[in-house]
Structure 1
């Protein structure tokens, strides 16, 4: 057999072995989950249609600038900084790059490993070694060589490891979108909460000014003997109490301002968001079909990809019970003298397969397989739980929006009625028909109802943001 024939036959055997490679685990199928036909909280069947993007899959696609449906330029400017400066997003991107690098590392297992080296040694054989022609001599050794090893994926171990790493990388990509969506939604909620406090502060500041004017009036009336000191005490209490409420608004607003600074990656000490009176734009959000939720939610996609990765890990654990086939080849030049080093007689080479299997390991492979199976069962449970939580979040926010819409209507009526009652009571006090206590009571009721109306509008905005987040954040009608 010629030297040239050996590599050809070995290569042919390796190709045949690779083509015959098979995974030792059953083909992957996504776990079954129960999907309702409609959202219970959706008030209109027509809202179940195609306003939301439908794609297979749609989890890894960018969520888009969904916040622009609120028509707030300040919010749009803040949201644009999430991708650039938010540290949670940057950490998720780093994890994704790490997962992709691991996939490339595992995929390299399909290819041979080639090494090369040059060595120069001197060694001396013992003079007391009998029967050796080199006894007592110092011998130089010059060598250069190339070695190649390749493990054909006969039982699918490498393929399963690549599948595992690839699925984990896909899960990391979905994690990035999930973090982006969570951070942008939290920023929107904090922003609307801050603007709600601005609206309440505006009401309180106006009330403080009105109560200060009223206090001066009753003080003048007391000096003129028209009323007693109790009316002044009541007016003073009303004034100071409202000023305290206004100061408490400042504390809460500052904390929200700091939270927004952290979300956009800026130190709280140097960030400020001026107070502004904002008219909220409440968007109409059609929830789509429940089946589309599975496609849109990045956290559901991440959980499903981790199930696929765990399934592939079972295959890799199964493959450990089979032997490994390794093909190796080495060639080079070696000589005890430098002069003839590059001549043909200095050539050496070796080539051949090696089949190695573990006969006994004390149950390590069995334990590894059991662990991989248990991990798979855990990821299936995580996936199904994620789906259940997703439906819960959608239903919660649909129900909240419906309830808050009704509350908004009745609260606006209550605020208007309270203002009318205050005006009538003030007129009666000026006519001497009632005491100032009645005025104070009417003022308190009016202010409370106006604040409640503002708070409800803020809660509606928060619920809208949370609903968009729960639905996956992909909005198709944006411009």
Structure 2
């Protein structure tokens, strides 16, 4: 080879290498900003701090069976039933399944699409058709045409449109997963709160029933004194009014319990007429809730995770919008066999193929692409604001729960002390009555005061249970149990099963 030929060959090699390097560089880049997780201000600690334990949050143990902390088998059964039968939770699971399927559909654009086709026809060509050449006369011909071929299409993702769409779809799927886990937490918290409400009403009803019994005895005593002329008609009417008011309270408690029981039925996926919960007592244990540090909350709550994934998806869609400024390049090779007879179809002379591609660049869209980019950028900023709002709301809810538990704890201590005092008053009134120093109404009044205080104790304990559930929910769930991605709804819900 001559020196000039060698030089030309070397130049061609260098040119090809540079071209390949440029294409590789383009293939490695994608339009739009790379995602960076938003930074939010987090407080150094909670207030008050003293009563609370420090938690060590773990990503694989955030939303376990936290309701078992209350050691109530009836609640455990209701939670398990709701996890498998609640229709809202089932719908959230199916939405997550949809998002995973959509991710698979979007990811398919990273691979070429290949189609196989076949065609066969038999036709007669007219002998009187226009001449193609005056030197060659037309003849009528009957012939076959058999074709079998493969055609492919592949978008060359030089500017990262497909990669950004996959990135956005993946973030959407992860957001849907977090939404499902958040719905698990919300449903479980609603079941626990409603259940404790029923139990509180059961205990209140028992106290009110005792009050009715004592007031009936008081009415009987006042009526006896009225007949003997030792009490006025006013005394009798007042006692009758007190009994009627207390009886009314019992009916109102029954109405509240019925509504709470119906709500539990719906939460567990049961028609209200088919659901009954026997009366029972509230759990005696108010579990200690370790709250951890504020920054740990960002990894614990599924709604925060969902909001953060929404930011990631919006960021990727900026890249999708920006890629519209660049050409869309599609390769479309094909290979086929064509023959007039089946016996000669798959022979070398019947082979046909083509290698081709296309590129399309928007030149004028009337401002459409600019508007698309503005829309995507505004969507990203809105998602960041939504994320910040979710985090702030989470901090508020945890602090609300801690404050409520602190104040309710003090109120419970004071109420217990007041109950002891009321019990002591009843003992004194009973002794005085037995010694003939007081009448029976003093004993009844002391009994009523004690029952009123016990009812207040019941209300405070019910509120403590509800607020402990609220705080656990605000913290993102329980500790020490694995988070099932959760508890997949029963197979009977799957239309394919």
TM-score by length of 1: 0.88
**Is 1:359 aligned to 2:363, yes or no?**
yes
Are residues 1:472 and 2:476 paired?
Answer: yes
SS in structure 2 opposite 1:81?
Answer: helix
Deviation at 1:41, TM superposition (A): 3.0
Q: Pick one of 289, 294, 297 that aligns with 2:298.
A: 294
Deviation of 1:299 after TM superposition, in Å, equals: 0.5
Partner in structure 2 of residue 193 of structure 1: 197
Query: Quick one: structure 1 residues 397 and 367, their matched pair in 2 at CA, closer, same or farther if it must change by over 3 Å?
Result: same
Q: Distance in 1 between matches of 2:70 and 2:138?
A: 90
Question: Any idea what SS the aligned residue of 1:287 has?
Answer: coil
> How far did 1:123 drift?
5.3
What secondary structure does 1:360 align onto? coil
Residues in 2 aligned to 1:411 and 1:216: alpha-carbon distance in whole angstroms: 31
Q: How far did residue 198 of structure 1 move?
A: 0.7
1:38-437 maps to which residues of 2 (within 5 A)? 38-44=45-51, 47=52, 49=54, 51-55=55-59, 63-122=63-122, 127-131=128-132, 139-421=143-425, 424=428
Number of equivalent positions: 460
Whether contact under 8 Å (1:332, 1:349) holds in the other structure is: yes
Q: Which residue of 2 aligns with 1:4?
A: none
State the alpha-carbon separation in 2 of the partners of residues 474 and 346 from structure 1.
70
Structure 1 residues 54, 340: CA separation in 2 closer, same or farther (over 3 Å shift)?
closer
Q: Tell whether the 8 Å contact from 1:234 to 1:437 is kept in structure 2 after alignment.
A: no
Cα distance in 2, alignment partners of residues 87 and 288 from structure 1:
33
Q: CA deviation at 1:407?
A: 0.9
Distance 1:125 1:391 in 2: 82
Structure 1 residues 374 and 135 mapped into 2: Cα distance closer, same or farther (>3 Å)?
Answer: farther
Give the aligned partner of residue 34 of structure 2: 27
How large is the RMSD of aligned CA atoms in angstroms?
Answer: 2.8
For 1:378 and 1:20, the matched residues in 2 are separated by: 30
Do the aligned residues in 2 keep the contact of 1:116 with 1:147 (CA within 8 Å)? yes
Structure 1 CA distance, aligned partners of 2:371 and 2:351? 47
Deviation string, structure 1 residues 405-430 (Cα, Å, up to 9, x no partner): 11111122223333444555577678
Q: CA deviation at 1:197?
A: 0.6
Does structure 2 conserve the Cα–Cα contact (< 8 Å) formed by 1:17 and 1:152?
no
User: Structure 1 residues 160-169 or 337-346, which shifts more?
Assistant: 337-346
Residues in 2 aligned to 1:20 and 1:349: alpha-carbon distance in whole angstroms: 29
Q: 1:317 to 1:430 in 2, by over 3 A?
A: same
In structure 2, what is the Cα distance between the partners aligned to 1:40 and 1:334?
81
- TM normalised by structure 2 equals 0.85
Match of 1:457 among 437, 451, 461: 461
1:228 is displaced (CA, Å) by 3.5
Asked whether the equivalents of residues 114 and 153 of structure 2 are also in contact (C-alpha less than 8 Å), the reply is: yes
Greater mean alpha carbon deviation, residues 308-317 or residues 445-454 = 445-454
Q: SS at the partner of 1:67? A: helix
1:1-12 maps to which residues of 2 (within 5 A)?
none
| Rounded Cα–Cα distance in structure 1 between residues aligned with 2:309 and 2:139 | 65
Gapped regions of structure 2 (runs ≥ 5): 1-15, 483-497
Once residues 293 and 230 of structure 1 are traced to their aligned partners in structure 2, the CA distance between those partners, rounded to angstroms, is 61
1:20 and 1:135 map into 2 onto residues whose CA distance is 56
SS at match of 2:291: coil
Q: Which runs of 5+ in 1 are unaligned?
A: 1-9
Please tell me whether the aligned partners of residues 145 and 331 of structure 1 are also in contact (alpha carbons under 8 angstroms). Answer: yes
Residues 14 and 329 of structure 1, relative CA distance in 2, 3 Å threshold? farther
What CA distance in whole angstroms lies between the structure 2 residues aligned with 1:135 and 1:399? 99
Contact (CA 8 Å) 1:231, 1:436: kept in 2 or not? no
Cα separation, 2, equivalents of 1:268 and 1:43: 44
- Structure 2 distance, partners of 1:134, 1:410, is 113
Measure the CA separation in 2 of the matches of 1:210 and 1:48: 44
Deviations 1:386-437 (A, max 9, x none): 0000000000010001111111111222233334445555776788877888
Deviations 1:314-340 (A, max 9, x none): 111111111122222111111244453
Shift of 1:215: 2.3
Shift of 1:212: 1.8
Once the two structures are superposed, what CA deviation does each residue of 1:176-225 show, in whole Å capped at 9, x if it has no partner?
11111111011111111111111100001111122222322333333344
SS at match of 2:332: strand
